[in-house]
Chains A and B, each alone.
Chain A
Amino acid sequence: MHSSFQLAFLIPLLPLIGCLINGLGRNWLSKQWSGLIGSGTVLGSFLISLLVFQTVETGQDAVIAYFDFIRVEGLHIPFAFQLDALSSLFLLIITSIGFLIHVYSIAYMHQESSSSFARYFSYLNLFVFSMLLLVLGGNYVVMFIGWEGVGLCSYLLIGFWFKNLESTKAANKAFIMNRIGDLAFLLAIFWLIIKTGSASFLEVFDFIQANGGTVKFSATDITVVTLLLFIGATGKSAQLPLYTWLPDAMAGPTPVSALIHAATMVTAGIYMIARSNVIYSLAPFTMSLISWVGLATAFLAATIALQQFDIKKVLAYSIVSQLGFIFLALGSGAYIAAVFHVFTQAFFNALLFLGSGSVIHAMGGEQDIRKMGGLSGKLKITYFTFMIGCLAIAGLPPLSGFFSKDAILLSAFLHQPLQYGLALFTAFLTAFYMFRLLFLTFHGSFRGTAAQQAHLHESPALMTVPLILLALLSVVGGWIGIPSVLIHDADRLGTFLSPVVGPMLHEVSHATKWVLMTVSAGGVLLTLGFAGYRFSNYSATESKGIFRFFEHKWYVDQLYEHVVGKPITYMSRLLNEWVEPRLIDALVNRVGRSVQLAGKQIRFLQSGKIGSYVLLMVLAMVTVLLVQFFIRK
């Protein structure tokens, strides 16, 4: 085993140590130390991840089992890490962005008291630990530990300002929505363990490849397992129908939104499906369902994003939409394109969120873009980096988003031309609402209060440096996957990942590719121009017709409330007010009372008189002897 692999255990361990130090020492640590420990441990993980990545790049991979996690009759689940192309790439994304966001947080959270500052970093470290565990896990069980861990941290961090009722509610919503998905994931794990006798990726996949479609693992098994895993993924990665928690989750601190709800945790579902690609490749029905769900989510979220006025809400829906694109790619079997987009969107979405954080910071907590405008003058760095983020997400060449989105569009084109058309339209929508956001925030004249105007300032270096670095990565991040039609042999990502997820399908002529690329790039350019013209001078108008529908987010929350929330409330009330007191309590109390009554009666046997004791004993003995010798005989 390569020596860098022997260090792999440190990758999650360092943030865990940071979490413990910050968590236990929160009353003693100064802010400097908390910040230093928090970001230093993640930096350490990043460096080791780099080493591991380099080793993996030379073509090595390994599954390292540390100890037995579960060992019972017939089932053996080691605590194992799997180091290969897929996991090492995710390691890099998590630790690099994680580190930048830790640094950014030091400045962003500076107003917190030192104990809650340390608490914040403790949670953030715990999150990084869990996320690393999730991607490192060599079997579904270890992955599930990380999976639950990130859910918990997400809950803790969304509700970080727990005195604010809205945050607490959003935290609850996120947790509960995720639990629905988790249940499905758990069922899938049980299903796999029962059918294959193992939870290890390699063993499960080998088993399914050998026995898929036979009695041992029938087509129904494949469909059910893939569907359950997909439901799990929709919870964590905010897809229809479980996406509604993500926009609300923006109630947490902005760096948290950037790290957890933009760059890393929401890609867990994608990672899981990409990891399970062996099973999915055998499940055509699930695959087409995934692609449609992804597309529908992308479209729905994009339309909602068109009409939102909260800067973070717009970004939240844009993330849901981007994740939808990725699921479209997964459903089309283009795992490399999916992972590519995860990689690039992690950078520009984190960038956009951190940029919005910088804006909110400058505006003194204001998040409504109707009250912003003309900020480009005061917040130069934020403006430029934010613009790069917008261009990247819009998919303008040669920024990172262009290449990854193009790969997805190509895969959709190959899979189902109708999906391609819709996806292309959604991509234009993306460009449109991002530029609407950019123009409303940074261009035109300032629409806030005078006090806010006086307070406007560029953020400190601790915040702008991560912005600049992320902007840089948003520009160049796509160059690892430049399609061969542009530069021959430049698709390094594809070569790197193909051992794990299989090679990409290339059955299109270069001419078609050129056409597709030109159409999308040109369309984006036109949309940008239109948006620039439309929003360069904004004045508030009442939205009408379908846009009103979009503004109210398709009334999905209300729909859930009526279809799921209300019936459950009614049923709970019925159970609480009728079934519980009349049936269950009555039964339980009766049992309790009869126990007490029996106790009371039996107590009288204990009279304290020796004579009666002897009598009772003799009676018992005589009964036994009589029964034994005359009846049982």
Chain B
Amino acid sequence: MNALFVSAILGVLLMLSSLFIKDRNYIHALALAGLAVLFAINLAEFDGWLLFEMDLSGMLRFDRYALVMNAIGLASFFFYLLLSGSAMEKVGPHHADYLALLFFICAGLFMVTGFESLLILFLGIEVVSIPLYILTGSDKRNLKSNEAALKYFLLGSFSTGLLLLGIAFFYGARGNFMATVSVDPTVVGSSLQLAAVLLLLFAMSFKVSVAPFHFWTPDVYDGAPTVFTSFMATIVKVALFAAFVRLFEDTFSLQFSLWQPWVAGFVVVTLLIGNLTAVFQQSVKRMLAYSSIAQAGFMLLAVYTINGDSKEGLLLYAASYSLATIGIFAVLVYLQDHTFEGFNGLAKKQPIVAASLVIFSLSLAGIPLTGGFLAKLFMIKAALAYQPWLAIVSVVMAVVSVFYYFRLIQAMYFRKDAQSISIEFPKSFPIGLLVTALIVVLLGIFPEAILGLLYF
């Protein structure tokens, strides 16, 4: 709860800061310092330390799972700011405003991970979505950016409609908005409740870009300024997944047999569409958009399986996927050419950057000794307990994903650069990238560092 309020306050502070502080570096430093504070008070909440007591009427509940998820989100945000913060200047002059919006999104994310009433879930999702619409269109003179923002807004509104309708049915079935398990036999099997489950399934699937509700993703991710795509594809998506899992595993656990087959179907469709289409992309940015759909398919396995393994898996997935994707996007921001050719011969010019990118790619593909491997392992192991064929499909699709992730490695190490445009990175950038990559590796060796937070 600490983080929720403080991030909202920080958002306001940053919005006002542009009036008083002219130097962007100070604003940037302020944001980083704010994040450090957020992280610290979020950690403090593990031990029950609260900034102030407040009656929430049971609408918010920050359990360990939510707090760990928030911590992962904040850590990812920190690395995101570290690596791509300065790249926001390229988008436009309103540096402080962008940062403020990002902090507002954060506040929304904390509501989403800790919701206990469906109203809060709705509110949180809207608090997240509206700044995202703005950020998508923030590159005002770029037609693609505008188009993406409009598409995102229209399709987002459509899904919000579904969400609201689902919540209305939910209220109709139960007479309240509380996200607790209802054992009332008139509720459990009622048509209204079933319709609510399905509608909420559609709406949440849309938000985390699960097929067949993923259509907005490639267009929006591609059109939005790369810096913000990075944020959307990682921190936002992962937190929404936490809410997805919470909603279906806790609130709808008794309707398990109803939604589980559909989720299984969505997993398969998402994995197929995400991976097969990613194979075809020439632009790394678009490839990452599709790969984020494919990775959503894997994360959806955590919804599919109600057991501890998948929840732990989702935490690992959240951390390793976010860091790796943020890392690749951070490099992409600095490249003129966003196609695979743009990466040609990068290993010669920027060995540290290239090596870090290799680690990110390996992690996303799920190669051992990286966090991505263990995350996939947890997911597939959890799925194996229910449906062996689902695990098989996942493994096969993970193999397909190797194709496009390794294309990146191939371009960097085995292709010669045709046009010798030198790529300029800020001086500290390669080191920051390497640290991020090291964390991805460490996650693969000491996963208990994160998983331990859940229990101790």
Contact = CB atoms under 8 A, between A and B. Distances in A.
B171 interface: no
A595 B216 CA distance: 23
Given A599-B277, A603-B280, A628 B212 contact: no
Chain A contact residues, majority secondary structure: helix
B395 to A, nearest CB: 15
Interface stretch (B16-24, B80-88, B116-124, B151-159): B151-159
A610 B151 contact: yes
Interface in B332-354: none
A601 to B, nearest CB: 9
Given A605-B273, A608-B219, A620-B212, 12 more contacts: A595-B276, A595-B279, A595-B400, A596-B280, A602-B273, A605-B215, A610-B155, A613-B155, A613-B215, A617-B212, A625-B198, A628-B194
Given A628-B194, A629-B191, A599 B280 contact: yes
Interface string B198-236: 100010001000001101101100000000000000000
Given A610-B155, A614-B158, A617-B212, A599 B198 contact: no
A624 B198 contact: yes
Nearest to B218: A606
Given A614-B158, A621-B202, A606 B280 contact: no
Contacts of B206: 617
B225 to A, nearest CB: 19
A602 B277 contact: yes
Contacts of B273: 602, 605
A596 B158 contact: no
Interface centre among A595, A596, A613, A620 (most CB of B within 10 A): A613
A596 B212 CA distance: 20
Contacts of B155: 610, 613-614
A613 B219 CA distance: 11
B215 A599 contact: no
Closest 8 CB pairs of A and B: A613-B215, A599-B276, A620-B212, A599-B280, A599-B279, A598-B276, A602-B277, A599-B277
6 contacts: A599-B279, A599-B280, A602-B272, A602-B277, A620-B213, A628-B198
A600 interface: yes
A75 interface: no
Nearest to A615: B215
B181 interface: no
Contacts of A620: 212-213
B212 A616 contact: yes
A617 B162 CA distance: 11
Contacts of B279: 595-596, 599
A606 to B, nearest CB: 6
B33 interface: no
A231 to B, nearest CB: 32
Q: Tell me if B's interface is mostly helix, strand, loop or mixed.
A: helix
A629 B189 CA distance: 12
Contacts of B400: 595
Contacts of B194: 628-629
Interface of B: 151, 154-155, 158, 162, 191, 194-195, 198, 202, 206, 212-213, 215-216, 218-219, 258, 262, 272-273, 276-277, 279-280, 400
Contacts of B218: 606
A600 B280 contact: yes
Contacts of A625: 195, 198
Nearest to B159: A617
B399 to A, nearest CB: 10
Contacts of A614: 155, 158
Contact of B216 (A596, A602, A613, A621): A613
B276 A602 contact: yes
A598 B275 CA distance: 11
A624 B197 CA distance: 12
Contacts of A624: 198, 202, 262
A629 B192 CA distance: 11
A605 B293 CA distance: 15
A416 B171 CA distance: 93
A614 B276 CA distance: 22
A621 B202 CA distance: 7
Contacts of B219: 606, 608
B215 A606 contact: yes
Interface in A579-633: 595-596, 598-600, 602-603, 605-606, 608, 610, 613-614, 616-617, 620-621, 624-625, 628-629
A596 B276 CA distance: 7
Nearest to B191: A629
Nearest to B211: A620
A608 B202 CA distance: 21
Contacts of A605: 215, 273
Nearest to B158: A614
A368 to B, nearest CB: 48
A620 B213 CA distance: 9
Contacts of A617: 158, 202, 206, 212-213, 215
A628 B194 CA distance: 9
A598 to B, nearest CB: 5
Contacts of B202: 617, 621, 624
B215 A616 contact: yes
A421 B341 CA distance: 77
Nearest to B262: A624
A121 to B, nearest CB: 31
A613 B212 CA distance: 9
A605 B212 CA distance: 10
B137 to A, nearest CB: 15
A607 to B, nearest CB: 9
A629 B198 CA distance: 11
A559 B195 CA distance: 77
Contacts of B151: 610
A628 B280 contact: no
A524 B405 CA distance: 72
Nearest to A606: B218
Contacts of B272: 598, 602
Given A613-B155, A621-B202, A628-B258, A606 B277 contact: yes
B392 to A, nearest CB: 15
Contacts of A613: 155, 215-216
A596 to B, nearest CB: 7
Contacts of A596: 279-280
A605 B211 CA distance: 12
Nearest to A594: B276
Contacts of A599: 276-277, 279-280
A428 B219 CA distance: 88
